[in-house]
Chains A and B, each alone.
Chain A
């Protein structure tokens, strides 16, 4: 696969991922990952210092399903939506496993219409093909800021 093809497929994956979350189809969100995945939301500072904890930390697709299940059935928060704006991936390595860094911006719109820049940062991804579809083996969400306003319910 040429780099151009890889970029196109990765961009399509990222666009579908963002659309899934922003359109509140969270039940489909875990399917973007392989079964033994790692999904972590952390900060640039924690990442730089090697601090392993995340505000969200899932080392299996089942944990992502549990996240969604908790959001739907247990957790309480005021209604809000995200709009992900995802940039062009920077290919770090290609082959059976693709490594890429992709910038993102998330605008949060609250129930009363208030909009804020909720988060900006990069996705550090390891991606591989499974059943003809690219899936995340690892998606580290490295937020530029250490501040998470009010709460983080919907995934980034």
Chain B
């Protein structure tokens, strides 16, 4: 022993959770053992994790590396268009197999000892398997099929590739439920094209961001851009759809009764405070491309996927945990492949609304950190999640925390807390 005192964690079972989901204890955001347990029970559990876009890997051999929870993974296009996903971990000594973010390959080789894998993640060859000059090598009975990185089942829904490690995960449409599948189909009507990728490291537990996305209550209170510039009214219609499981949600803001295209400009011009109108309102020359009156739709799939339609600004966001008190948010900005130049130009302008510098999203980058820091020694205290009652059902108002409670309902079930 070197004299170091190791402080044992309290162990997840030693933490108390009050009845229901209207109070959330702060230890859930702090403990290393909770973060480790989430890897197995949530991310590697009976859920569909977002892996990548179908268009990210169009051809056989194309691959992307990403994460499921903290697990590094490879997603690759195999024969006959099949999409394979497997842990990015060599069966031999555990090194990363693939070191690039994306690319195209015939197969994959670990750089450490040159063990090779096919596009499905099967171990295909072991360097010097039969030794050198008749000496060394692997035992004769070594079965290459007996070892390998963990493999995911994958599924493609509307061009979104999801993966699961659990045999218990139901088919994707059943997992999402009817309401949420319809809301995804509403936006992803045709092939998309990536127009930008950014990573936003956040100084908070991943669940604080997952909750933030589902928290429709904060939107008009924390994000003051739309209200300040008199672009939307707080009284605008909308509400929140929650899957029966409580796990997934889609919140919507409806256009005001007037035609949306001119409302913004008119509102700006009518404003008495000249200072508080956009000098260049081009950002808000919104086009009704989905044929309904939904201006904003924020949709989450448990545990860590977000599909966003804010006017004509489309993006997917992927939550990647980084230990108990940090996470990365992966933004992929999208257009449709058949966008006209005008439409694409409009999307580029509207991208100012979102991302790390987004007029209506930058606050989400810091607010999770405020909670993480505010609760530094509050592991046995609780947050209050009671707006809109105690249930996890859909509601026709956004002044509710129903979807946040739905998140915790599912989290508790999977974590057995």
Residues 39 to 63 of chain A near chain B (Cβ within 8 Å) = 41-43, 45-46, 51-60, 62-63
Q: Which residues of A contact B203 (CB under 8 A)?
A: 150
A153 lies within 8 A of B357 (CB): yes
A95 to B355, CA, bound (A): 37
Most buried by A among B279, B283, B345, B369: B279
A66 lies within 8 A of B280 (CB): yes
Contact with A along B346-371 (1 / 0, CB 8 A): 01110110011111001101100100
Tell whether A151 pairs with B366 under 8 Å between CB atoms, given A42-B196, A75-B225.
yes
Interface stretch among A10-18, A85-93, A132-140, A141-149?
Answer: A141-149
Which of B194, B276, B349, B366 makes the CB contact (< 8 A) with A150?
A: B366
Q: Which residues of B contact A146 (CB under 8 A)?
A: 197-199
Which of A51, A56, A63, A73 makes the CB contact (< 8 A) with B283?
A: A63
- Number of A residues near B (Cβ < 8 Å) is 36
Contact with A along B219-251 (1 / 0, CB 8 A): 000101101110000000000000000000000
A51 to B358, CA, bound (A): 18
B229 lies within 8 A of A46 (CB): no
Q: Which residues of A contact B349 (CB under 8 A)?
A: 57, 59, 63
B278 lies within 8 A of A66 (CB): yes
| CB-CB nearest in chain B for A147 | B199
A46 lies within 8 A of B357 (CB): no
Q: Is B86 an interface residue (CB 8 A)?
A: no
Q: Is B333 an interface residue (CB 8 A)?
A: yes
| CB-CB nearest in chain B for A156 | B357
B196 lies within 8 A of A73 (CB): no
Contact with A along B79-111 (1 / 0, CB 8 A): 000000000000000000000010000000000
B362 lies within 8 A of A52 (CB): no
Q: Is A1 an interface residue (CB 8 A)?
A: no
A75 lies within 8 A of B224 (CB): yes
Q: Which residues of A contact B352 (CB under 8 A)?
A: 56-58, 63, 67
A53 lies within 8 A of B333 (CB): yes
Q: Which residues of B contact A52 (CB under 8 A)?
A: 195-196, 344, 348
Which of A54, A63, A66, A69 makes the CB contact (< 8 A) with B196?
A: A54
A152 lies within 8 A of B363 (CB): no
A78 lies within 8 A of B279 (CB): no
Tell whether A55 pairs with B348 under 8 Å between CB atoms, given A74-B228, A150-B365, A150-B366.
no
Q: Is B396 an interface residue (CB 8 A)?
A: no
Tell whether A151 pairs with B348 under 8 Å between CB atoms, given A41-B357, A53-B333, A70-B225.
no
A149 lies within 8 A of B201 (CB): yes
| Complex A-B, nearest 6 residue pairs according to Cβ-Cβ distance, in ascending order | A53-B196, A62-B280, A151-B365, A62-B279, A148-B356, A74-B228
Binding site for A on B (CB under 8 A): 101, 194-203, 222, 224-225, 227-229, 275-276, 278-280, 282-283, 328, 333, 344-345, 347-349, 351-352, 355-359, 362-363, 365-366, 369
Binding site for B on A (CB under 8 A): 41-43, 45-46, 51-60, 62-63, 65-67, 69-70, 73-78, 146-153
A sample of 7 cross-chain residue pairs with beta-carbon separation below 8 angstroms, ordered by A number, consists of: A46-B196, A57-B349, A62-B280, A66-B279, A147-B328, A148-B199, A148-B356
